[in-house]
Amino acid sequence: MTNSNDKKKILFLCTGNACRSQIAEGWAEHLKSDTIEAFSAGINPIGVSSRAIKTMAEVGIDISNHTSKHIDDLQWIDFDYVITLCDNAARNCPVFKGNAKVIHKPFKDPYFASGSKEHVMSEFRKVREQIRQFVETLPDSLET
């Protein structure tokens, strides 16, 4: 069992803390809880997307208890890494205390997908799987 002090504290940051960062936090909690203490926040939080909750439930991960948080709510945490998941978050990323290393890994925002219900959900699924592939490489890929 890994001591929580040995885990890397990683913040997934995007604009609304509605989709991408929530999905990333969910994957990190599910796949990497032995090595990562995951957090998510937004520059301008708007609430967790019901479609993000649904797309994660499809793969057996429940993020329905997640809340949309503002970055200022987490300023007290000494993160090892802050991963910005969109250009807006990268441009507006605040300075963090300690030695937090900021990594930019943008993903298309499925929140703005349009078209049929099936098409919108396919966009959520595509981003979910892209984020899963990225999270699977953590934390090792951040240290190289």
Distances (CA, A) of 51 to 59, 70, 75, 113, 120: 13, 20, 28, 11, 9
Give CA–CA dist 51/111, Å, rounded.
Answer: 8
> Which position among 11, 14, 41, 61 bears the catalytic label?
14
Active site residue 86: yes
Active site residue 19: no
> Which position among 31, 74, 77, 93 bears the catalytic label?
93
SS3 101: strand
> Which position among 61, 82, 86, 100 bears the catalytic label?
86
List the catalytic residues. Answer: 14, 86, 93
